[in-house]
Structure 1
Amino acid sequence: MKALIIVADVSYKGEYSMAVQALRQLGMEVSTGLVSKSVNVNFDIDLTGGLSEGILSNYDAVIYIGGYWAYYASTGKEIPGRVKPMVNKEVFEEILTQSVNGGKTTILPLATPAYAAKLGLLKGKKATVYPTTDLITILRNNGVEYINDNFVIDGSIITLKKVTVESLTKALSK
């Protein structure tokens, strides 16, 4: 199996590295695609300039690493601090939409379920999210049933409250 990690922001400590570790532990071949020019990780695919046709056809699973950017982009709050990730939001949204609508195993940790909910991609689904009132409210206001579990699987969509190697490997083994 092949997995693609889409990286917008790695500011949430360990989110990216634990995802890579869990996917590799499951025997998956892992590739990384960047949608931000300010992220400093090894990558295979540069998506900062745009999305190439059929990019998802080579992958069985796609995980979205949004870091703090996903939280602030979901809530509309101003990102604090001097360094703001330079995320190609259009590419992030396009590949996320293709992933969900195409039935790919789509893994949304922390705040990314709220981001997907705002795009209308989780309407009528069950999901979890990093447990803050504003993120839970975004889910509910966008027709998503919030479930307070470590991970929730609804069809091909896996949402995670937090990223740990254990929770991700457990969710992907179901």
Structure 2
Amino acid sequence: MDRLDGKQILMIVGQKNYNEEEFDYLFQRLESEGADVFVASNQLEQALGRLEGSVTPDEAIEEVDPAEYDALVLIGGYAARLFLWDDEKTHQLVRKANDLNKLIAAISTAPVVLANAGILKGRKATVFPDYDATLSLQENGAKFIYEDVVVDENIITCNHTRYKEQFAEAIIKYLSKTHEKTSESLQES
């Protein structure tokens, strides 16, 4: 049995210039563990990567019901800065998911979305080592930690594409634990 059987994961990408290396690796890795992986973006039209990749979103961000997913995974790159950092619809989605105690994971520049949504106040987090990105975390009350991957309760952040494997493993480990708890409670019933 795969570690993420039955888990529903929503990956969020900005409309143009998302980081394909992060997206492709995480999508394939999470699917290979048994998760059902879906994609959302600002619009339903094809989202374009920074190189030559593209993906057709399953949902527009404004239409997402976070209760339908076990986790949100936000992909970085210039797209996060341009299309997600200050997008109120994305902020609302992230806040709702956090209120439901869903796993929220963000890599490279994407943790700024979480900070701007207001869910990192008093929480440990990391982000791509860029002045604007680190400043955004600090100004929004996050406890910025310069580490590759930081886990603080239901929030996982990663500061660079080169640590995508560790980031994926942290997501899988977190969701596997919630899977085990669900399986145990079903067996007890």
What interval of TM-score do these two structures reach, taking the shorter chain for normalisation? 0.7 to 0.9
Unaligned runs of 5+ in 2: 1-6, 48-53, 175-189
Q: Does 1:41 align with 2:55?
A: yes
Tell me if the contact between 2:92 and 2:117 (Cα under 8 Å) persists in the aligned partners: no
1:85-124, aligned counterparts within 5 Å?
89-124=87-122
Query: Does 2:92 match 1:64?
Result: no
| CA displacement, residues 137-162 of structure 1 (integer Å, 9 cap, x when unaligned) | 21112211111111111110111112
Task: Report how many aligned residue pairs link the two structures.
Answer: 158
Distance 1:131 1:66 in 2: 13
Residues 91-135 of structure 1 show CA distances to partners (whole Å, capped at 9, x for unaligned) of 222212211222100011111212221232110000000111221
Q: Superposed, which structure 2 residues align to 1:1-150 within 5 Å?
A: 1-9=7-15, 11=17, 12-36=19-43, 37=45, 39=47, 40-45=54-59, 47=60, 50-51=62-63, 55-72=65-82, 89-150=87-148
2:4 maps to: none
Q: When the two structures are superposed, what TM-score results if normalisation uses the length of structure 2?
A: 0.73
- Cα distance between partner residues in 2 of 1:14 and 1:57: 28
Is contact 2:14-2:83 (8 Å) kept?
Answer: no
Check whether the contact 1:18–1:165 (CA below 8 A) recurs between aligned residues.
yes
Identity %: 27
CA 1:75 to 1:51, structure 2 compared with 1: closer, same or farther past 3 Å? closer
Give 1 or 2: higher helix fraction: 2
Distance 1:131 1:25 in 2: 30
- Report the Cα offset of residue 69 of structure 1: 2.8
Q: CA deviation at 1:2?
A: 1.4
* One-letter code aligned to 1:23: L
Partner-residue secondary structure (3-state), 1:107: strand
Contact 1:74 1:111 in 2 (8 A): no
Structure 1 counterpart of 2:71, one-letter code: A
Deviations 1:68-93 (A, max 9, x none): 132346888xxxxxxxxxxxx33222
Q: Which amino acid aligns with 1:51?
A: E
Distance 2:155 2:102 in 1: 8
Contact 1:10 1:16 in 2 (8 A): no
Q: Which has the larger radius of gyration?
A: 2
Per the alignment, in what secondary structure is the counterpart of residue 37 of structure 2? Answer: strand
Look up the match of 1:169: 168
Shift of residue 42 of structure 1?
3.1
- For the residues of structure 2 that align with 1:16 and 1:117, how far apart are their CA atoms? 21
2:169 partner letter = K
